[in-house]
Structure 1
Amino acid sequence: MNKNISNFVIALLLSTSFCFGQSLTSSNLPILKINTNGNAIPDEPKILANIEFIHNGNGRLNNVNDPANVYKGLAGIEQRGSSSRELFPKKPYGLETWADVSGKSLKINPLGLPEESDWVLNASYNDKTFLRDVLTYDLVNKMGRYATRTRYCEVVLNNNYEGLYILMEKIKKDKNRVDISTLKSTDNTGDDVTGGYIIKIDKTSGATSKSWTNTNVTPFGNSKTFFQVEYPKFADITTQQFDYIKNYVNNFETALLAPDFDSPVAKWREMCDIDTFVDYFLITEFVKNVDGYRLSAYFYKEKNTKGGKIKMGPAWDYNLAFGNADYYDGYKTSGWQYKINDIAIPQGDVFPAPFWWQRLAQDSEFKAKAANRWIALRKTIFKTETINSWIDSAAAPLQDALKRNFSRWPNVMGKYVWPNYYIGSTYQNEVDFLKDWIRTRTSWLDSQFSEFGLTLANEPFQSKETPLKVLKNPIENDSKIEYQVFKKGKVTLSLYDLNGKVVQLLVDEIQSTDTYLLPINADNLSKGTYILDYQLDGIPVERAKLIKQ
């Protein structure tokens, strides 16, 4: 063999060994083995695979060579997702269990999950805790709303270890998922055509669906929302059905924009289940999902004789929640997520949130319900100690699998993976950041909801939401910095130049809950623009621009 070729082959083998050096022999978690007979898995359509689920019971070890005892059979598999599929080497997958090679679906109930055929394998590549999605869905289910149920498993693909995954229910019409009526092709008039429907607000990745775009002139600027019909599917929905649901949503938006929208008898109140909107609002604001409201947002409608109102949900896609995003202020523990358009649209974002949430935040009933529901949840499932206990119990059984996963994917832990704001050197660092972020976020929301629910006749709602202000800016010698401390902790106020260099450390001490005023000595600053950064216990709260002329 040519020496150069020989060296190339050796290097290739070494490289391959490094990439797939982490192997799996046994796990305390369920094992999923997938065999595509060497065929690459495409974005779509699904290709044939043989799969085996191994789970010997809770507390028992699962060996990779154990016989399949949950399911052994055929499945269709494809890559899924948008950014997660395009950007990361560890791919998320869509999985459908099949009865035969023709692709006929076969319902199974893996790992105690309700029987169905469609599943998602979430790679959780940029959420290094593997907890954000699972925690959010658990909270939503405890709130009494359906959210996808989950199980952790380790995956072997074509005899190569692929790492830790989250097996999840796919959002679809099903008695155990979104339980709405079946729409037949003959259901085109009367009550028959009124439901059920599942609509999503999202990018266009995935299967083709019937869709439309609404453009509205609103008090908050022009709103452009892209709606897609998730159910019925593209091949099944009739023209009459599509026209019905499109017109219903259009009429709902028209009613929200009507001058009497705050009236107790406003039309939109008859068209939606306001309690589901309140709960969706609260979970989105709590976790501050940077994609909240504008992407991966679902709502559904049942037949008129079965309620017939728009219901928000199910909740979906929270890997970029809980401070795990370095853009659109996603890392900050302060600020209302429903105002995301104020940040995203000026930056050219083409996927704005619908104006609904800004409008609802002006409605007396919605505000009162949201504030009261928040206060009740904070005493129970949103209680910080309860959530911390859940995080610890969920993370404990993952430790061995996490070591294997991060060995299989060495460019994750301690490295920047888009769009991480915080980069911990260890898994425990990542978990600690998550806990601290939640603690600071809930403190900010506590302070806001104490005011959010106030109903003062017809006066406009005003919130003291900004925890950091520069009073008189561009600054002069009588300018001051006003900042709010929502809980006792270490306050850090730093002034940066535009190169990221710390110019002044203004505050670095433990402070009690209060509102503080800090004088600014303008003479000590050169002309230019600065960034004022406010952190509480190391968690970012707010940033403000400071100008010296």
Structure 2
Amino acid sequence: MATPIFRKNLLFRFLFLTVFILIFACDSDDPVLTDDDVGQEPDDPIALQDKLPQFMVDTQGGTIVDEPKISSQTTITVAGDVVYEGNIGIEFRGASSQALFPKKSYGLETWDENGEDIDVSLLGFPEEEDWILYGPYSDKSLLRNILIYDLSRDIDRYASRCLFVDMTLNGVYQGVYVFMEKLKRDGARIDISKLDDDENTGEDLTGGYILKIDKTAGNNLGEGYNELNSFVSAYPPQNAAAGQEVYFLYEYPDAEDITVAQKAYISQYVADFESALASDDFTDPDTGYTAYIDVASFIDFFLLNELSNNVDAYRLSTFMHKNKNGKLKMGPIWDFNLAFGNANYCNGGDTNVWAYKFNERCPDDFWLVPFWWDRFMKDPTFVAQLKERWLMLRSGAFADTAIQARIDGYLAELEKAGAIEANFTAWPVLGSYVWPNNFVGNSYDEEVNYLRDWLAQRLTWLDTQINNL
């Protein structure tokens, strides 16, 4: 039986411990939970309304491959609210990037419960079924593609609409992605006429078409370039050191659907354009090259690629299209992750070279620039229009202040969302070389400052060069 003294000591210790716990709790810096905190992630300082849209994909045990797309589920939230939930098909996309980079990019289709394509509006974009989640990896600024696409739309040239999102795959955070529209024939994308397989004569046969100069990939038929998926230019690229040729891939109608008559029409149209451009009378307004192309679209395409010194310009990821009864137009632009000084080969990092003169610097490359652009520069009328357009854009969308303001806006959005830190925690590549970086910054700020400085130097050089054409 405990003695009275022992019981008193025990009671004293209990009271002392209780008072100590209460004092410690009152002095603690831990926040007091309120109703507003319910539902917040533990230790997450970012308010829900400040976060990027959250794009979550669940493959339900399936493994994503290059082709075909596998059935999955997606949930998209904005400020914590579910804005879309449904079935998708998902696959890897990209040629070089898919093989080289652990952070993958994805092609998506929105599907119904039966696995059939269904048009929906995602994150405010016009209804469609085909989408892309592009994962910037070698572009450590995260900004290059979204910047050039926004600039293109600023000058009234359609480019893929795009937004920054956070992507989570099967419960694992994948980093900052750019949610984008896939380039395709559509009234809100590449706005050309539908061309059915029974439209093989007369006016119907004149459009619409989409062609592409690019690597063979995706659903191209057969091995490499062949008569099923492409046609070849009759004019070899200038400075070709190894017998290289230029191939035009059938993008719409694609290689599986395009008819013999449609192939004959569009290949002959391009051949006629090239013949007119190569002729002695190429500047004639009636019989020269301008009878076949929309010159203004070619000039804007040129300026967007030269602004960024896109090392792939004119020779890869190069789209063109032709509407019914219309002329050939260049664009939309595509794939600028190696632009703006982010390539350490063929002078891709330089601010003081012409992108269209790629062949002079790298004549051994398999993919070379068609002869078109050098020929255009020999036409005084083309050059005069180019100068006029450049001056107009430099006072608007291409002004230094306008471009820097766009970058400021992206940074404010990403910083507020805590997305920069999260991305480079998931992918710790800052300070490390990732092919084909021309510059390796030790911090995100250094990467963005490099981009800003590069652009300032590039714009100054182009001002002088274009004025002296």
- Give TM class, smaller chain: 0.7 to 0.9
Q: Give how far 1:23 is off.
A: 10
After TM superposition, the score normalised by the length of structure 1 is 0.73
- Checking the alignment, whether the CA contact within 8 Å between 1:202 and 1:295 is kept in structure 2 is yes
Q: 1:38 aligns with which of 36, 58, 61?
A: 61
Q: Which residue of 2 aligns with 1:16?
A: none
Q: CA deviation at 1:367?
A: 0.6
Question: Among residues 296, 304, 314, which one is paired with 1:275 in the alignment?
Answer: 296
Give distance in 2, aligned partners of 1:423 and 1:155.
25
Change (3 A) 1:380 1:297: same
Amino acid corresponding to residue 438 of structure 2 in structure 1: Y
Corresponding residue to 1:428 among 445, 454, 459: 445
Matched, 1:451 2:463: no
Mapped partners of 2:358, 2:254: distance in 1: 30
CA distance in 2, matches of 1:265, 1:190: 22
Deviation at residue 223 of structure 1 after TM alignment: 6.4
State the match for 1:213 in structure 2. Answer: 232
Q: Which has the higher contact order (CA 8 A, sep 6+)?
A: 2
Alignment of 1:497-516 (within 5 A): none
Deviations 1:180-210 (A, max 9, x none): 1001111000011110000010001212152
Of 202, 222, 247, the match for 2:268: 247
Q: Distance in 2 between matches of 1:131 and 1:86?
A: 22
Residue deviations 1:472-513 (CA, integer Å, cap 9, x gap): xxxxxxxxxxxxxxxxxxxxxxxxxxxxxxxxxxxxxxxxxx
Counterpart check, 1:89 vs 2:133: no
Kindly indicate whether the alpha-carbon contact (under 8 Å) linking 1:220 and 1:355 is maintained by their aligned counterparts in 2.
Answer: no
Trace 1:28-107 onto structure 2 (pairs within 5 A).
28-56=51-79, 62=80, 69-101=82-114, 103-107=115-119
**Contact in 1 for aligned 2:237/2:368 (Cα 8 Å):** no
Q: Does structure 1 residue 293 correspond to structure 2 residue 310?
A: no
Asked whether 1:231 is paired with 2:261, we answer no
Q: Which residue of 1 aligns with 2:19?
A: none
Query: In 1, are the aligned partners of 2:318 and 2:334 still within 8 Å (CA)?
Result: yes
Question: One-letter code of the match for 2:251?
Answer: E
Deviations 1:438-486 (A, max 9, x none): 100011011111111xxxxxxxxxxxxxxxxxxxxxxxxxxxxxxxxxx
- Counterpart of 2:455? 438
Report the equivalent of 2:175: 163
Identity of aligned residues (%): 45
Q: Which runs of 4+ in 1 moved over 2 A?
A: 22-27, 217-223, 262-267
- The offset of 1:257, in angstroms, is 0.6
Match of 1:393 in 2: 409
Indicate how the Cα distance of structure 1 residues 217 and 79 shifts in structure 2: closer, same or farther if over 3 A, else same.
closer
**In 2 relative to 1, CA 426–409 (structure 1 residues): closer, same or farther, beyond 3 Å?**
same
Distance in 1 of aligned mates of 2:299 and 2:108: 33
Residue 164 of structure 1: CA displacement? 0.8
Change beyond 3 A, Cα 1:153–1:186: same
Q: How does 1:334-345 map to 2 (within 5 A)?
A: 334-345=352-363
Partners of 2:450 and 2:62 lie apart in 1 by 40
Instruction: Name 1:535's counterpart in structure 2.
Output: none
Equivalent position SS for 1:79 = strand
Q: 1:372 aligns with which of 377, 388, 404?
A: 388
Bigger Rg over Cα:
2
Counterpart-to-counterpart distance in 1, 2:294 and 2:216: 27
Are the structure 2 counterparts of residues 424 and 217 from structure 1 closer, same or farther at C-alpha, using a change threshold of 3 Å? closer
Residue 362 of structure 1 is matched in structure 2 by 378
In 1: Cα distance, 2:238 partner to 2:421 partner: 51
Which is richer in strand? 1
Structure 2: 5+ residue stretches without partners: 1-42, 222-228
8 Å contact kept, 1:81–1:206 = no
**1:417 matched to which residue of 2?**
434
Preserved contact between residue 110 and residue 130 of structure 2 (Cα < 8 Å): yes
Q: Is the 8 A contact 1:124 1:319 kept in 2?
A: yes
Q: Bigger shift: 265-274 or 190-199?
A: 265-274
Which residue identity lines up with residue 448 of structure 1 in the other structure?
Answer: Q
Q: Deviations over 1:31-88 (max 9, x none)?
A: 01101112221011101001111113xxxxx3xxx6xx22111000000001111100
**Which residue identity lines up with residue 277 of structure 1 in the other structure?**
F
User: Cα RMSD between the aligned structures?
Assistant: 1.8
Question: How far apart in 2 are the matches of 1:198 and 1:264?
Answer: 25
Distance in 2 between residues matched to 1:229 and 1:319, nearest whole Å: 24
- 1:23 to 1:33, Cα distance in 2 relative to 1, 3 A: farther
What CA distance in whole angstroms lies between the structure 2 residues aligned with 1:227 and 1:24? 51
State the TM-score, normalized to the length of structure 2.
0.85
Structure 2 CA distance, aligned partners of 1:386 and 1:167?
23
Provide the C-alpha distance between the structure 1 equivalents of 2:348 and 2:292, rounded to a whole number of angstroms: 32
In the aligned structure 2, how far is the partner of 1:443 from the partner of 1:283? 15
